[in-house]
Amino acid sequence: MAPLIVQLVAWAGFWLAGIIGLVPAAATPAGALRFALTVMFGFTALSHFLPRTRADLVRMVPPALPAPGFLVSLTGGLELAGAIGLLLPPLTRLAALALALLLVALFPANVHSDRVGLQVAGRRATPLRYRLPLQLFWIVCLLWVAVTHPATGSVRIGATDVSSQLMDRWWVFGGVGLAVDGPAFNDIKAASERRFEVGAAAVVGTGYDLWRHGRIAWDVQARAQHGRTATGTPDKRRGQAGTLLLGVFAL
């Protein structure tokens, strides 16, 4: 919860500084939020390299992924780069969208730490039932900054306006709802496995349109899901899933 506290304190501080004229760019809630997110992601980026927290973050990396130490350093560097990008007007929108994508990519580590009960800096990592809404909150904050920040420049590679293309084609989504887990009919070993299990579920994800023509688009998307059954049985279950999809859809 420390990053949330850092964000909220910085948000209030910068907003007040904007109102009294010390930081004119922070005079609106969205403007102050841009600076608050910069402080928060700078704070979390440092934790990737500080001895007190680095070893714990390395253990958070799911075992299926290679080179956990490198991944912790890489994500810390990306968070720091995103924090700096939020401060630079031509890069603000791009940085906000990139950080939203990074939050989605980091979610499996949060799932793993919750499942095995890992600790960070001597305290248990935030339980997933709190972490997922928090992750969605930060994604919404980043999207708010990206949408409300005035277009004061562009990022170009050659003659291509990269920032404009990303804004047009990159999207992030999240939501909560009802999930149904059906039995695997080809692998039923007991009568209890025949039942359908129903419960609450939440999903966060992001996608990018690779190609569009008329009302048809090809896209690539990644999502992370977490659900818990509510069937009233003593063995209530919870589960997580991650997917990477390449598909076509009609607009």
pLDDT in tens, 71-87: 888 888 889 988 988 98
Q: Match 């809404």 to its residue by tokens.
A: 133
From 4-13, 26-35, 55-64, the region with the lowest mean pLDDT: 55-64
Looking at the structure, do residues 63 and 132 belong to the same domain, yes or no?
yes
pLDDT reported for residue 128: 73
pLDDT above 50: residue 157: no
Strand partners, 206: 172, 222
Could you list the residue range(s) of the whole structural domain that residue 128 is in? 2-157
Looking at the structure, do residues 141 and 182 belong to the same domain, yes or no?
no
On whether the pTM is more than 0.75, the answer is: no
The Cα 54–Cα 63 span in angstroms is 16
Q: Match 């999502």 to its residue by tokens.
A: 223
Looking at the structure, do residues 116 and 21 belong to the same domain, yes or no?
yes
Looking at the structure, do residues 67 and 178 belong to the same domain, yes or no?
no
Looking at the structure, do residues 190 and 125 belong to the same domain, yes or no?
no
Position 13 confidence tier, pLDDT thresholds 50, 70, 90: very high
The pLDDT of 125-145, averaged and rounded, is: 85
Looking at the structure, do residues 148 and 196 belong to the same domain, yes or no?
no
Q: Is residue 165 part of a domain?
A: no
Last residue of one domain, picked from the residues 122, 157, 192: 157
Tally of domains in the chain: 2
Q: Is residue 85 part of a domain?
A: yes
Top pLDDT among 43 and 53 is at: 43
Q: Residue 124: which H helix or E strand, with range?
A: strand 123-124
Q: Is residue 164 part of a domain?
A: no
Instruction: Tally Cβ neighbours within 10 Å of residue 151.
Output: 12
The Cα 26–Cα 11 span in angstroms is 9
pLDDT in tens, 91-121: 888 889 889 888 888 888 888 777 777 767 6
CATH of the domain at 226: 2.20.200
What would the DSSP string read from start to end of 67-104?
-HHHHHHHHHHHHHHHHHHHHSGGGHHHHHHHHHHHHH
